[in-house]
Chain A
């Protein structure tokens, strides 16, 4: 299962990315409200998929509780806004700080007690579930009744308080997604990125060659959680309501992993591609079967997609596609 890695970015890939960005940038002009909401969701999952991918794809730490870090970001920024009138641009600092602190705490416990692999994933699930249930009992955060952000006019753009039309949120998420792509690429080709991959493929060998396994892993957790916290702030202000059952749901944590798995774990463009494949497909099928009243068909299709990918192309769609598209010109060995 050896794959090749394109490095440096071939001219064709740069051109393709620029074209994709241009298409997405003008999309709101032609798309109707529904299509725009689907595209926004696609970009959101492309972004959080990349955040998750940093921890698992790059550094080999499987988190199945990533909804926790997004939820913490959402609740932190929303609580500041609702209770103290502090806007999201200030709130994002608290959101990121809290998400990173909780993530590093979980990772610290995990590393300190040498919990690895599936057990580490279970630890993340346990913390997410624990938080969900505790959050159900905190009245200040709305408990089970939910925390609601005041909704003002949707036509006026108030960027300082993130109040505005859906297009504003779309462009914000578009920026975040492409920024994450840039940061991911930069990270992957930095010294830290090489250390991550060395640790992922063989932690003991990495440690023997002088890689500081603990700090590199911590860095991956911190960066991934910070990105997730930012996603949480966006989520809170886009949806305007937060419920513990939804924010910290295990199903949500699992859903986050779908796009990177289908696209290609450990690749740069995989999470984005996966999101663009899965979410419009889910919407199409939901639309086509609307008359049958099949609640849950979307998840059904996604589940089948994950099973099919694991069975047929365990390294994802993107590594297979880039060979066909001729995007891999220089070979750097990568084994996810």
Chain B
């Protein structure tokens, strides 16, 4: 009996973790190529959530159908952010880039607060309470769909970077910035595209997670930190690492919430972050950074 409960909790955690992983993938892509730590990450995710929420309220659109729209909107936002702001601070010290995005994050949280107010709202889809039972294992339908959607988007992203010419060009920029310039790649444009693609992942993850979580503007810093925890655990800049980190953190949070007090579960992931920072700063799947 006990084992089935653990299995249920674990599966739910892994499925949620896949969505976390997709969002962290966005952070990881942006860092891996542009070397910018996107401090406005959670804010962008919440933007995706609000977008899906409004589409649900006005048109009754399932968040899973809003997902491409949220991804497209966030792509445009990320592209503009890189092209208009981040691009201009590329030559400045790291901490100033970090602080620029912290400023953007502050603007986004307070804008969300002004437009949507502080109350938490969710999208109640028709199948919200359905679940599948396979023997003793019970899986929520929304969670299964959310996990599958996240996995699908992540697979698309991996495919894009592996097989398309554009994806290869972006990888070339990440591997050797100067070399990319020499062979005539338009690095500034590719960087903007990368930021857009990363942001699209974050937006998609935001739309998906609306199935599981009610949205309010103050969620944002928590998601930023969660994504940092995940990519640092998985290895900053490593794409499979981000997905793995997401699953690990999702599962361990679910277990910690089940075994300990639910509200202590995020203390657990910060504990994991501190341990990983200290013992394996390059992350589980990360490589030691080249000097």
A interface residues (Cβ-Cβ under 8 A, vs B): 56, 62, 64, 109, 112-115, 117-119, 121-123, 125-127, 129-130, 133-134, 136-137, 250-251, 254, 257, 261, 294-300, 302-307, 310-311, 314
Contact with A along B16-44 (1 / 0, CB 8 A): 00000000000000000000010000000
Q: Does B221 contact A (CB under 8 A)?
A: yes
Interchain CB contact under 8 A, B278 and A113: yes
Interchain CB contact under 8 A, B96 and A307: no
Interchain CB contact under 8 A, B270 and A118: no
A250-B225, A296-B110, A297-B114 known; A306+B273 contact, CB < 8 A: no
Q: Which B residues are in CB contact (< 8 Å) with A305?
A: 103
Give 26 pairs: A residue, B residue, CB < 8 Å, sorted on A.
Answer: A56-B95, A109-B274, A109-B278, A113-B277, A118-B37, A118-B94, A119-B232, A126-B225, A129-B225, A130-B267, A130-B270, A130-B274, A136-B263, A137-B263, A137-B264, A251-B109, A251-B221, A261-B99, A294-B114, A295-B118, A299-B107, A300-B114, A302-B106, A303-B107, A307-B107, A311-B100
A113-B281, A295-B118, A304-B107 known; A118+B98 contact, CB < 8 A: yes
Interchain CB contact under 8 A, A299 and B109: yes
Contact of B110 among A250, A297, A314 (CB under 8 A): A297
Q: Does B261 contact A (CB under 8 A)?
A: yes
Interchain CB contact under 8 A, A250 and B278: no
Contact with A along B111-122 (1 / 0, CB 8 A): 101100110000
Complex CA gap A294/B89 in Å reads: 31
Nearest CB on A from B255, distance (A): 17
Nearest 3 A-B pairs (CB), nearest first?
A: A303-B106, A306-B103, A303-B107
| Chain A residue with the shortest CB-CB distance to B218 | A251
Q: Which A residues are in CB contact (< 8 Å) with B266?
A: 129, 133
Q: Does B92 contact A (CB under 8 A)?
A: yes
Interchain CB contact under 8 A, B277 and A306: no
Contact of A296 among B94, B98, B113, B221 (CB under 8 A): B113
Q: Which B residues are in CB contact (< 8 Å) with A56?
A: 95
Q: Does B213 contact A (CB under 8 A)?
A: no
Contact with A along B241-263 (1 / 0, CB 8 A): 00000000000000000000101
Contact of B274 among A127, A294, A300 (CB under 8 A): A127
Q: Which A residues are in CB contact (< 8 Å) with B273?
A: 122, 126
Complex CA gap A123/B103 in Å reads: 20
Complex CA gap A306/B95 in Å reads: 13
Nearest CB on A from B145, distance (A): 30
Complex CA gap A297/B89 in Å reads: 25
Interchain CB contact under 8 A, A300 and B107: yes
Q: Does B284 contact A (CB under 8 A)?
A: no
Q: Which A residues are in CB contact (< 8 Å) with B99?
A: 257, 261, 306, 310
Q: Which A residues are in CB contact (< 8 Å) with B110?
A: 296-300, 303
Most buried by A among B89, B114, B228: B114
Interchain CB contact under 8 A, A310 and B278: no
Which residues of B, 69-126, contact A by the 8 Å Cβ criterion?
85, 88-89, 92, 94-96, 98-100, 102-111, 113-114, 117-118
Interchain CB contact under 8 A, B228 and A250: no
A295-B118, A306-B99 known; A117+B109 contact, CB < 8 A: no
Complex CA gap A113/B267 in Å reads: 22
Complex CA gap A151/B92 in Å reads: 49
Q: Which A residues are in CB contact (< 8 Å) with B152?
A: none
Q: Which A residues are in CB contact (< 8 Å) with B136?
A: none
Q: Which B residues are in CB contact (< 8 Å) with A306?
A: 99-100, 102-103, 106
Nearest CB on A from B201, distance (A): 21
Complex CA gap A306/B108 in Å reads: 13
Nearest CB on B from A279, distance (A): 15
Interchain CB contact under 8 A, B106 and A299: yes
Complex CA gap A131/B216 in Å reads: 23
Nearest CB on B from A272, distance (A): 19
Interchain CB contact under 8 A, B232 and A117: no
Interchain CB contact under 8 A, B281 and A119: yes
Interchain CB contact under 8 A, A296 and B109: yes
Nearest CB on A from B199, distance (A): 17
Complex CA gap A37/B230 in Å reads: 41
Complex CA gap A294/B274 in Å reads: 38
Interchain CB contact under 8 A, A304 and B103: yes
Nearest CB on B from A295, distance (A): 6
A296-B109, A303-B106 known; A133+B95 contact, CB < 8 A: no
Complex CA gap A233/B100 in Å reads: 31
Complex CA gap A87/B197 in Å reads: 56
Q: Which A residues are in CB contact (< 8 Å) with B277?
A: 113, 115, 119, 122-123, 126
A122-B232, A295-B113, A300-B114 known; A307+B274 contact, CB < 8 A: no
Q: Which B residues are in CB contact (< 8 Å) with A134?
A: 267
